């Protein structure tokens, strides 16, 4: 029986709207009360199954691993560096222990008390040691919206955009786990019409709704990854909020692209949903209007049906404001094309590298994945549930993103990625 079987049930209670049924089993890293060392586990319902303890006690039997222990480190990188067949076998072993008709863990109260921990009692950590970070620009709607705001709408897309997955290299050291507050960044900005820039805190801090793939098995320097083998290199996905300072970006990005406007912080969700868990939600991607060069032509145009939402909490009390409803399936360039292009020059991807999608916007006005688009660069402010208005983020605003796939009576979800914008530090 596969871990994706619709009939699977766990002995752990799983509410119908939970993101973490037995069909998901996303991996994460966390601190337990009284233990300063990170543990690794999977989410199931409102609990985490502690794989570090299970492995220590010899209760996680995975023949493909032999005597190798993959859950005794602080991150998932050791497991991710294995081959996909091993990932599958590990996931099947975990599923078996959690299955409703398997007594091993279900009927052992002492063991359950040691390895099943309420999610509310955990302090989540970065699940992966991320050595490198690439941010793509793969939403045609987003690229068109931004191009229309800053250039002739008839020339919104630059000449290269329909021929290759545009990307830039981001800063991995400032990737933070959900719940980490970030300060309004300083930088140079220039008011339109003035000759000289000024220095100070950004006045146009924004969110960017993205998702990111985490590289499992990398490739050697000088050896490109063929497009039809690209997906097998990907371990899983997380939600990404790639915070952006639009006024700093507008001044600095020519000719080499974003720098200080992006490197002050990128937030990711704590649970890594595996590529295998996403398989039932694979769908055809958007029609590509120009036939790409042969190295970007896949045997299938694959993407995933992942519903995405963004909310803004502008006050400690009171309901949030829904800002955006989008979907991962809107992306023009697929992860397979992104990987094939990233490595075609021989660039070597490494275990734990993060490949983010770029802002995910859709065809409707409420599917725009940034305030830059939602407010037309501040020209049309949004009215929030509280009655306040926003052109861009203000100090104290908390952005919450979530995403999930809808199955037959269950969801496979990512939880959430949240972060609050704090005032700029004193210079």
> DSSP character for 262?
H
CA distance 171 to 272: 20
Helix or strand or coil: residue 233? helix
Q: Which residues sit opposite 307 in a β-bridge?
A: 327, 404
- Backbone CA torsion sign across 182, 186, 191, 192: negative
142 is catalytic: yes
Phi-psi region of 415 (alpha: psi -120 to 50; beta: other; left: phi over 0): left
Question: How many residues in total does the chain contain?
Answer: 427
Distances (CA, A) of 47 to 55, 101, 106, 115: 18, 19, 14, 10
CA distance 122 to 33: 7
Task: Name which of 418, 374, 420, 372 is nearest 395 in CA terms.
Answer: 420
Cis before residue 255, ω within 30 degrees of 0? yes
> DSSP character for 151?
S
CA distance 49 to 397: 33
- Backbone CA torsion sign across 58, 62, 65, 71: negative
Check 19, 88, 96, 142 and give the catalytic one.
142
CA distance 21 to 25: 7
Chain CA centroid to CA 240, Å? 4
Locate the DSSP E strands across 234-341: 234-241, 244-245, 266-268, 273-274, 282-284, 302-304, 307-313, 321-327
Q: Please list the helix, strand and coil fractions of the chain in percent, rounded to the nearest 5, in that order.
A: 25, 25, 50
Residue 363 has phi, psi (to 5 degrees) of -75, -20
Which positions are catalytic? 142
């Amino acid at each position: 029986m596969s871990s994706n079987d619709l009939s699977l049930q766990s002995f752990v209670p799983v509410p119908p709207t939970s993101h973490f049924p037995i069909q998901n089993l996303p991996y994460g890293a966390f601190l337990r009360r009284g233990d300063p060392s990170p543990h690794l586990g999977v989410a199931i319902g409102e609990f985490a199954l502690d794989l570090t303890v299970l492995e220590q006690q010899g209760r996680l039997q995975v023949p493909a691993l032999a005597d190798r222990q993959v859950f005794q480190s602080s991150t998932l990188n050791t497991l991710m560096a294995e081959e996909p067949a091993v990932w599958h076998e590990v996931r099947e072993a975990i599923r078996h222990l959690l299955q409703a008709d398997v007594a091993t863990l279900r009927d052992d109260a002492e063991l359950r008390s040691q390895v099943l921990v309420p999610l509310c009692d955990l302090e989540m950590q970065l699940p992966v040691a991320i050595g490198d970070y690439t941010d793509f620009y793969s939403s045609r709607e987003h690229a068109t919206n931004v191009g229309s705001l800053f250039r002739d709408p008839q020339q919104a897309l630059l000449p290269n955009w329909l021929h290759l997955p545009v990307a830039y290299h981001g800063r991995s050291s400032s990737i933070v786990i959900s719940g980490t507050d970030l300060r309004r960044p300083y930088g140079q900005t220039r008011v339109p019409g003035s000759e000289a820039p000024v220095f100070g805190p950004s006045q146009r801090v924004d969110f960017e709704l993205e998702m990111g793939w985490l590289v499992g098995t990398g490739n050697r320097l000088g050896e490109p990854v063929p497009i039809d083998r690209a997906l097998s290199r990907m371990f899983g996905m997380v939600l990404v909020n790639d915070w952006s300072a639009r006024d700093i970006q507008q001044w600095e990005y020519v000719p080499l692209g974003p720098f200080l406007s992006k490197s002050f912080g990128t937030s990711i969700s704590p649970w890594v949903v595996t590529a295998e868990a996403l398989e039932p939600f694979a769908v055809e991607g958007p029609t590509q209007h120009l036939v790409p060069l042969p190295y970007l032509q896949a045997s299938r145009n694959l993407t995933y049906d992942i519903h995405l939402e963004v909310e803004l909490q502008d006050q400690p009390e009171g309901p949030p404001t829904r800002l955006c409803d989008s979907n991962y399936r809107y992306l023009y360039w697929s992860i397979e094309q992104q990987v094939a292009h990233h490595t075609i020059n021989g660039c070597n991807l490494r275990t734990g590298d993060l490949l983010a999608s770029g802002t995910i916007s859709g065809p409707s006005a409420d599917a725009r994945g940034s305030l830059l688009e939602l407010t037309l660069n501040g020209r049309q402010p949004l009215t929030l549930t509280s009655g306040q208005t926003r052109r861009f983020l203000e100090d104290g605003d908390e952005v919450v993103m979530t995403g999930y796939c809808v199955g037959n009576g269950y969801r496979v979800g990512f939880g959430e990625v949240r972060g609050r914008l704090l005032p700029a530090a004193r210079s």
